[in-house]
Amino acid sequence: MTAPRLQPIRLDAYKPLREIVSDALRQAIRDGILPPGERLMEIPLAEELGVSRTPIREAIRILEQEGLVVMIPRRGTYVADMSLKDITEVFELRSILEELAAELAAERITNEEIETLEQHLVEIGNYMNEKNLDKVVQADILFHEILYKASRNDRLVEMIHNLREQTLRFRTLSMSQTGRLAKTWDEHRQLVEAISDRDIERARHIARIHMEESEKTLLAGMQLQSHEEQLG
């Protein structure tokens, strides 16, 4: 019998069960526990997570809307795979939205939020020195969350989240590319400086460069991984 890969969920009095389940499945997809192309079966998932099939079904619908799973008629539900073309299309949209988020943040961010961004820069630098890639990725996500919140535009934040979720599972692959960590940190530093100076045009420019470099590095990493898999 195959050992369970997912841990039973812990109930949260403040969150609907479908959201707790979708969070668990989303994280499993990000971490590669549920890899691209894997079929999602309601009964085994319900047994592993310790819930009924109903919240599993509802959670899968949420993940489908986010583009993390695909439902194929008469075949079932699968963890979505992403082609190089898919990645490019996501980044085309993200670049536009990230520029807008940077612009709005430069106009609306508070001094407290600027200080928090600066603190996260220090944390990311420390994790880089420790060569703790997982911590770097987590801190990077929090850094962007603060930046998005500073835009004061909930619909924009939701759109960015939906797009970002589709590529977040590849974040470690991107960050592990030679030289990318240092470049990412420097791009973050420049972005914080531009936003702190309320320099809208520079903030937009740095946000665009950050997205272009992120896309370039991720595509290179995916191509290298594909080549290594073919050789192996």
Tens-digit pLDDT profile for residues 104-138: 999 999 999 999 999 999 999 999 999 998 899 88
So what's the pLDDT on residue 156?
98
Quick one: how far is CA 179 from the chain centroid?
A: 20
So what's the pLDDT on residue 211?
96
29 touches 169 (CB < 8 A) = yes
pLDDT band at residue 171 using 50, 70 and 90 as cut-offs: confident
Max CA pair span of the chain: 59
Which CATH topology does 84-231 take?
Answer: Four Helix Bundle (Hemerythrin (Met), subunit A) (1.20.120)
Beta partners for residue 72, in sequence order? 76
So what's the pLDDT on residue 1?
42
- Whether 2 shows a pLDDT value over 70: the answer reads no
pLDDT band at residue 172 using 50, 70 and 90 as cut-offs: confident
Exposure on the CB side of residue 111, measured as CA atoms within 13 A: 0
Domain with CATH 1.10.10.10 in the chain: 17-79
Q: What tokens appear for 124 in the block?
A: 């990311």
194 touches 152 (CB < 8 A) = no
pLDDT average, residue stretch 148-153:
98
- Whether 227 shows a pLDDT value over 70: the answer reads no
Exposure on the CB side of residue 135, measured as CA atoms within 13 A: 13
- Tell me which range, 8-22, 63-77, 185-199, is most confidently predicted by mean pLDDT: 185-199
* Chain position carrying tokens 């969070």: 23
13 exposure class (CB count in 10 Å sphere: 0-12, 13-18, 19+): exposed
- Whether 49 shows a pLDDT value over 70: the answer reads yes
pLDDT band at residue 202 using 50, 70 and 90 as cut-offs: very high
Query: Between 17 and 175, where is the model more confident?
Result: 17
pLDDT average, residue stretch 49-68:
93
Which residue type does 221 have?
A: G
CATH of domain 17-79: 1.10.10.10
Domain with CATH 1.20.120.530 in the chain: 84-231
- Degrees, nearest 5: CA angle 200-206-212: 135
User: pTM score, two decimals?
Assistant: 0.78
39 touches 28 (CB < 8 A) = no
